[in-house]
Structure 1
Amino acid sequence: MRLKGLRSSRNVEDRRGRGGAKAGIGGLGLLIVLVIGYFAGIDVTPLLNGELGGGTAQQGAPRELSAQEQQAGEFSAKVLATTETVWTQKFASDFGRTYEPPVMVLYSGVTQSPCGGASGATGPFYCPADKKVYLDTEFFATMARQLGADGDFAAAYVIGHEVAHHVQNELGIIPQVNAARQRASEVEANALTVRLELQADCLAGVWAKAVQGRLDPGDMEEALNAARQIGDDTLQRRAGRVPQPHTFTHGTSAQRQRWFARGYDSGDPNTCDTFNAQRL
């Protein structure tokens, strides 16, 4: 993705290098546990609380950001800026509304939000309570090295997906889904969550279509591969489990690819109605 010459978003809160809590099991190992737990639906709280393996939470000292971290932060701020431009235009043209962009929180290891700790809602996530996207930039390396999702546009897709949750929140979709989930059984609630996540994939595809002039050859393949690698079925297999569809919360690899491609092909957020779709 060609970002040279683009502005960086000012809606970035960088918590990296400030100190803060770090899990005793440490570094990339912690992040891998979190990522697999989140996407595979495995409760990793005992690992994080030190109940398995004797890990403890420690307070880290303030530190200087590495060159790689600085580069990841600059990349994230520029990608976020593209989402601001796209959704400002889309809200005006498609919904007749004003778009209020989210703040992106960059953190390292563990952080806190009104939706809970990042160690409990692992990997990148969006918190509707404060309208912020939370991202540990080390996740980009994990995607490439551990999840098989390499490339800058694979990383950009993750940001586009999380911002899409903010779009859903601004449109009132997330509150409606949360209310419905409270009245539903666990299986029904999971099914609603899958539709919410697939809609976010589709909206990320709409964003990708709008920035296609910035894409390099192979970028779309990177995004589609990322969608495949973080499908519930693929991640449950990677975690050594037989895929259990009733536990899915994000959709299968094929579904995630299909809805991202649908948004990209149409460029129209109105085609992303997963809740009335008969086939996901």
Structure 2
Amino acid sequence: MRWQGRRQSDNVEDQRGEGGGGFPGGGRFRIPGGSGLRTAGGGGFSGILILAAIFLFLKFCTNIDPMQILVDSGGGQLVPGQTQSDTSVKNNDETTQFAKTVLAETEDVWSGIFKAEGQTYPAPTMVLFSDQVRSACGFASAASGPFYCPGDRKLYIDLSFYDELDKKFGASGDFAQAYVLAHEVGHHVQNLIGVLPKFNQMRQNMSEAEANAMSVRVELQADCFAGIWGHFTEQKGILDVGDLDEALNAAQQIGDDTMQRKTQGYVVPESFNHGTSAQRSKWFKRGFDSGKLDNCDTFSGSI
């Protein structure tokens, strides 16, 4: 990915080295209620939201402890090796510059997509942290992996996660790393168009198994949205040969089935909450090939 020399986002908070401390009144990944973006009638956003609402209303009807939806790129199972004590904070090192550039690229792509829908895209803030962090969704450690919090519209990442992505999970390459950020931004888009607030409302009446099944659909849509970003990034001519393969390999390596085989030696399908390796790569590729929101409807039909 030819990212050097491109615009870097200013929507970044660098909290590395500060420590997180506790956060009163909330679990790490609890989703606070939020207001969605008002969408223009007949557009791709509203169509996805309506389908999601219908699917949720018809299918689910019991109770759940509402966790898990926002632990990204591996269901909270990715444990970065670096900690606050052994991290030398460099605010402008190459990895930081890369993350800022990828965020800027997502801003450009989604601003254009929202503009075509007659909307304005409010960009998220990326919080860089080490070891632990506080968010509007509560306290999180680096062991949680990257995540998005709809309560403050921020995505959080300990950049040492990228070392684990490469060395432990075999997902190397800059476009694999870009996919991780684009997936989190995909959750931000879901929050804006009302998908996450709708799930937050409906999940109170879901069983754990039902919520896991719906969480998979939410996560796969975020993968598809990441693919849409990749589609338009490719059109800019800044992708290298092999970049798509890097992203697809990353999607494969962090699928629920692959992760469970690596960590516990067997799979428990009813506990899947992000999607299988095949599903994650399929939906990223679908967004990448089409660049269309309407092709990212994971809420109706089979996935």
TM-score normalised to structure 1 length: 0.83
Counterparts in 2 of 1:28-107, with a 5 A limit? 39=74, 64-66=88-90, 70-93=93-116, 95-107=117-129
Corresponding residue number in structure 2 for 1:47? none
> Deviation per CA, 1:94-119, whole angstroms, max 9, x where unpaired?
x3211000000001111111112222
Corresponding residue number in structure 2 for 1:115? 137
- 1:195/1:211 Cα in 2 relative to 1: closer, same or farther (>3 Å)? same
Structure 1: how far apart are the matches of 2:146 and 2:107? Answer: 18
User: Are 1:137 and 2:159 counterparts?
Assistant: yes
Between 160-169 and 117-126, report the one with greater CA deviation.
117-126
Structure 2: how far apart are the matches of 1:136 and 1:16? Answer: 8
User: Are 1:261 and 2:285 counterparts?
Assistant: yes
Which structure has more RCO (C-alpha within 8 Å, separation ≥ 6)? 2
Q: CA deviation at 1:16?
A: 1.1
Structure 1: how far apart are the matches of 2:72 and 2:95? Answer: 24
Residue 216 of structure 2 contacts residue 275 of structure 2 at CA under 8 Å; is this kept in 1? yes
Corresponding residue number in structure 2 for 1:151? 173
The gaps in structure 2 that reach 5 residues or longer are 22-70
Q: CA deviation at 1:4?
A: 2.1
Q: CA deviation at 1:177?
A: 1.2
> Deviation per CA, 1:25-73, whole angstroms, max 9, x where unpaired?
xxxxxxxxxxx9983577x9xxxxxxxxxxxxx9x67985259x72211
TM-score normalised to structure 2 length: 0.77
> Deviation per CA, 1:144-178, whole angstroms, max 9, x where unpaired?
00011000000000000000000000101100111
- 1:20/1:70 Cα in 2 relative to 1: closer, same or farther (>3 Å)? farther
Structure 2: how far apart are the matches of 1:186 and 1:71? Answer: 41
Identical counterparts, % of pairs: 51
Q: CA deviation at 1:260?
A: 0.2
Q: CA deviation at 1:135?
A: 0.4
Structure 2: how far apart are the matches of 1:4 and 1:161? Answer: 21
More helix as a share of residues = 1
- 1:14/1:66 Cα in 2 relative to 1: closer, same or farther (>3 Å)? closer
Residue 76 of structure 2 contacts residue 144 of structure 2 at CA under 8 Å; is this kept in 1? no
Structure 1: how far apart are the matches of 2:20 and 2:290? Answer: 43
Corresponding residue number in structure 1 for 2:252? 228
